Structure 1
Amino acid sequence: MDFHYVAMDFGGHGLSSHYSPGLPYYQQNFVIEVQRVVAVTWGLALYSCTFPEMVDKLILLDRHFPLLLTEPTESENLLTYKRRMIEHTLQIEASQKPQRVLSPEEMLQGFLKNNSHVGEECARLLLQRGTTQVATGLVLSRDRRITLPEYSIDFISRDLLVPFIRKLQAHILVIKAMQGFYNVRRENDADKAALNLVKDILKSVLKEWFQYTEVPGNHYIHMNQPQHVAGIIGSFLKSSTPNQL
């Protein structure tokens, strides 16, 4: 079976332009960006719920799920979370801190020092799209307003999550790295209750349309050890969806 793959950089990432000052990075914006360029049946989680007819199969590789508000008291704090995001965005915009210009080797070593879970080959590939050449060296191209990913992740209540999932028409594969996102971004956070809750809801609602597997490795396993996920993904793409059986 032949496949055509499209990889895109969302706004503020890689080779894509940054948003203008005052425009926050919301997940909904990324959905709009996908819809602008999509020409085949692919997508991401929120896109698959919003445009379910466009997605046949969805692969979530060590994906961080929306920040799930599991308790009523957390929902009451939603405005507090939103306020922090706005204040963070405006603080970064107002700082006008100049970008550090580094040599390619300095950039590589600094990246490896701050990201010990990434191998050198993986780091070089990431920096190809994550840096911009200037007269005296390289600067990071990622918008500093999204340095903290939790400020661009949507908050959603459990009551809203179930209707969202029921909109899906895709066959879903979730691959979880055992030392994945939560270990990289939240090293001291052993509480994965929200993650497990999302997994249980997906399984309960989607049934045979949902496939979950865990693999050894960290968040960048698809780059550090692609052989651990290539076979799983290949088999999933070649398999028939439940409505084709």
Structure 2
Amino acid sequence: MNLASDWLPQRNQTMRFRRVSYQYTKFCKITQEIAIQAKYCRSSFLQKRWNHIIKAQDAREIQVPLPHGIIAGKEWGSEEGYPILCLHGLADNCDSFAPLAPLLSEKFRYIAVDAFGHGLTTHVPPGSPMNYWEKVIYIKRVVDHFKLKTFSIIGHSMGGSTGFLFASLYPDLVDRLLTLDIIKPVTVPLAWHTQDITEAIDLHLEMERKSQDPKNQKSYTQEQLVNRYVEAMGGTIYPEAVRVLMKRGSKASGSGFVFSHDPRMMLPSIMRFGIEEQRQIIKGIRCHLKIVKAKQGPLYEPVKYLEEFKAIYQRQCASYEYDESVDGTHHFHMHHPERVAPIINEYFSRL
């Protein structure tokens, strides 16, 4: 018997088994490392993809510098997303969009600001005239500050009016405009101008004098402010909505609180223009436009002017839609955000 010849095949078989076993073990380790790396990369990708989302409930405060203070506001959504400016109505503030915010698509970057003379935005210094065009100028300051090349606008009431003017004056900047319960910038008939402006000047000077008298410095509880606001709006806004607004729409004064908006904003504007001036200005509007009108919302102006401007939008805008299907009063976006948000989301999904 040749022991060497019998042993050699067994040895070779053992060596082959060891090599295969080693290679298999090495393969398993490499596979495991690849799996770990893939998991890490996937986790890193998702982290990069979602870490830039600011949830609506965590909306962060923003500030835009002014020569005499700041424009205040909030920002939420995707920091890398397409920008949408949110402009509120008269006597409101950027929290007007708080009920809507959690229902809006997170793919966009929402920038909501407290308008000229509202919320936490610094008031115009005493003695300075309240300029109607400052509403537009303030928005241009925001646009320049954030270096926005193109963007869209959601505007409620006064904010929608400002949106119309801005989109007309800067047609290359605004891609889409969606207005809530406003059909056109509100104007004053030319026949009223002389008398109204005279009265406005006197009222501004009278308020200036009264504001310097300590006897006129009244303050209220928060609930009294809520009730006063509801009464001023003719009961068309719910107390629950006003309480949301009062978070930044009121400020401490004496032993209580007062509204934070500039009281001069409630006076007739000294600088106004009539329907003919608006016809000229609106010639510049080119963006996509959608008007969402509350069924029970006010019209503000004669129907003939509203229909005239609808016809202008139809001719000039890249696209034009008018929606009067939503039940609600003037603040329907706060009272029933679940009715309004789907319309907004669908409209901006076309971007």
Give TM-score, length-normalised by structure 1: 0.80
Measured at CA, do residues 203 and 154 of structure 1 come closer, stay the same or move farther in structure 2, by a change above 3 Å? Answer: farther
1:211 matched residue in structure 2? 321
1:139 matched residue in structure 2? 258
Measured at CA, do residues 162 and 111 of structure 1 come closer, stay the same or move farther in structure 2, by a change above 3 Å? Answer: closer
**Offset of 1:152 from its aligned partner?**
7.0
| Bigger relative contact order (CA 8 A; separation at least 6) | 1
1:229 aligns with 2:340: yes
Measured at CA, do residues 21 and 233 of structure 1 come closer, stay the same or move farther in structure 2, by a change above 3 Å? Answer: same
1:243 matched residue in structure 2? none
1:85 matched residue in structure 2? 200
Measured at CA, do residues 134 and 91 of structure 1 come closer, stay the same or move farther in structure 2, by a change above 3 Å? Answer: closer
SS in 2 for 1:176: strand
1:31 aligns with 2:136: yes
Q: Deviations 1:41-99 (Å, cap 9, x if unpaired)?
A: 14511111122111111111112633446xxxx53553333333322222211222634
**Offset of 1:7 from its aligned partner?**
0.8
Which of residues 173, 187, 201 is equivalent to 2:290?
173
2:222 matched residue in structure 1? 104
Which of residues 157, 164, 171 is equivalent to 1:45?
164
4+ aligned runs moved over 6 Å, structure 1: none
SS in 1 for 2:323: strand
Measured at CA, do residues 36 and 233 of structure 1 come closer, stay the same or move farther in structure 2, by a change above 3 Å? Answer: same
Q: Hey, what's the Cα distance between the residues in 2 that align with 1:49 and 1:200?
A: 15
Measured at CA, do residues 233 and 219 of structure 1 come closer, stay the same or move farther in structure 2, by a change above 3 Å? Answer: same
Measured at CA, do residues 203 and 99 of structure 1 come closer, stay the same or move farther in structure 2, by a change above 3 Å? Answer: farther
Instruction: Name stretches of at least 5 consecutive residues in structure 2 with no aligned partner.
Output: 1-104, 154-162
Q: In angstroms, what is the RMSD of aligned CA positions? A: 2.6
Q: Deviations 1:127-161 (Å, cap 9, x if unpaired)?
A: 1121002452211111111114x527842333x43
Contact 2:286 2:316 (C-alpha < 8 Å) held by counterparts: no
Q: Hey, what's the Cα distance between the residues in 2 that align with 1:153 and 1:233?
A: 33
Contact 2:197 2:271 (C-alpha < 8 Å) held by counterparts: no
**Offset of 1:211 from its aligned partner?**
1.2
Contact 1:62 1:180 (C-alpha < 8 Å) held by counterparts: yes
What is the number of residues matched between the two proteins?
Answer: 227
Contact 1:11 1:30 (C-alpha < 8 Å) held by counterparts: yes
1:126 matched residue in structure 2? 245
**Bigger Rg over Cα:** 2
**Offset of 1:218 from its aligned partner?**
0.8
Kindly provide the amino acid, as one letter, of the partner of residue 224 in structure 2.
Answer: E
Contact 2:201 2:270 (C-alpha < 8 Å) held by counterparts: no
2:156 matched residue in structure 1? none
Measured at CA, do residues 6 and 105 of structure 1 come closer, stay the same or move farther in structure 2, by a change above 3 Å? Answer: same
Contact 1:48 1:54 (C-alpha < 8 Å) held by counterparts: yes
**Offset of 1:118 from its aligned partner?**
1.4
**Offset of 1:222 from its aligned partner?**
0.4
Contact 2:313 2:320 (C-alpha < 8 Å) held by counterparts: yes
Measured at CA, do residues 64 and 27 of structure 1 come closer, stay the same or move farther in structure 2, by a change above 3 Å? Answer: farther
Contact 1:64 1:181 (C-alpha < 8 Å) held by counterparts: no
Give TM-score, length-normalised by structure 2: 0.58
SS in 1 for 2:295: strand
Q: Hey, what's the Cα distance between the residues in 1 that align with 2:225 and 2:280?
A: 44
Q: Hey, what's the Cα distance between the residues in 2 that align with 1:130 and 1:64?
A: 26
Kindly provide the amino acid, as one letter, of the partner of residue 141 in structure 1.
Answer: S
Q: Hey, what's the Cα distance between the residues in 2 that align with 1:196 and 1:108?
A: 36
**Offset of 1:179 from its aligned partner?**
1.7
SS in 1 for 2:136: helix
Instruction: Name stretches of at least 5 consecutive residues in structure 1 with no aligned partner.
Output: 241-245
